[in-house]
Amino acid sequence: YPVNGDREEEDSNMDLVQRYLENYYNLTKKVENIYRRRDSSPIDNKIREMQKFLGLEVTGKLDSSTLEMIRKPRCGVPDVGHFT
């Protein structure tokens, strides 16, 4: 019985959304671990920005519809900002 199964899935989803926000919403890479350890609000704000842009319900949380949208095929050009 995988005791940490839910936690692993949560981490994997979090990695996925962070990469998405870095690629398309100008989330700064170097501070990602600080966000994850100490303060999740910058990432929540970026999730909100992404949800608003893509026409999802704005919750600031990594809900199922947000995850589903992240997994859809898309154009590689950022939605916010520019190629960096």
Partner 1 sequence: TFPGTPKWSKTHLTYRIVNYTPDLPREAVDAAIEKALGVWKEVTPLTFSRMDEGEADIMISFAVGEHGDFYPFDGPGAILAHAYPPGSGIHGDVHFDDDEKWTEKAAGTNLFFVAAHELGHALGLMHSANPEALMYPVYRSFKDLASFRLSQDDVDGIQFLYGSPTTPKNNYVAPTEPVPPRSKTPAKCDPALSFDAVSTLRGEILFFKDRYFWRRSHWSAEPGLHLISSFWPSLPSNLDAAYEVSSKDTVFVFKGNKFWAVRGNEVQAGYPRNIHTLGFPSTIRKIDAAISDKEQKKTYFFVEDKYWRFDEKTQSMERGFPRPIEDDFPGVEPKVDAVLEAFGFLYFFSGSSQYEFDPNAKRVTHIFKTNSWLLC
Whole-number minimum distance, CB 74 to partner 1, in Å? 5
Least Cα distance to 19 among 11, 31, 27 occurs for: 27
Q: Does 12 bind partner 1 (CB under 8 A)?
A: no
Cβ proximity to partner 1: between 10 and 81 the closer is: 81
How far apart (Å, rounded) are the C-alpha atoms in residues 70 and 47?
11
Whole-number minimum distance, CB 7 to partner 1, in Å? 24
- Burial grade of 36 (CB within 10 A; 0-12, 13-18, 19 or more): middle
Cβ proximity to partner 1: between 2 and 76 the closer is: 76
Q: Does 2 bind partner 1 (CB under 8 A)?
A: no
**Phi/psi of residue 50, each to 5°?**
-65, -45
Binding footprint of partner 1 on the chain (CB under 8 A): 24, 52-55, 69, 71-79, 81-83
